[in-house]
Amino acid sequence: MEALKTVTLFVVTALAEIVGCYLPYLWMKEGRSAWLLVPAALSLALFAWLLSLHPTAAGRVYAAYGGVYVCVAILWLWAVDKIKPSTSDWIGVAVCLVGMAIIMFGPRDAAH
């Protein structure tokens, strides 16, 4: 159950980060309203706060989160950008998720 909670929190965190970066992209590259920067800033603040909710060391959380971010970014590519991920994309996602699982759920020395 703890693993599901951790992964779900990572997914929500990744969505907050992607939205926080995608909205400025729309403003800068697509000519959309500068007002998009307001929800973008709020989304990035949410992203930072969500990362702080994990009970383990920050460096470990940041490292493991990166694996989930890669997965969510590829899903975003598919759902939002309408670009079908390649086999290499999916293999990369699998490698990243395995790395995340090892970092977050692997055995640790009791002193650390």
Domain ranges in the chain are 2-105
Tally the residues of the chain: 112
pLDDT averaged over the chain? 92
| Token pair listed for 36 | 């998009």
Print pLDDT tens along the chain (112 aa): 788 988 899 999 999 999 999 999 999 999 999 999 999 999 999 999 998 898 787 888 889 899 999 999 999 999 999 999 999 999 999 999 999 999 988 888 765 5
How many angstroms separate the CA atoms of 65 and 24, rounded?
Answer: 22
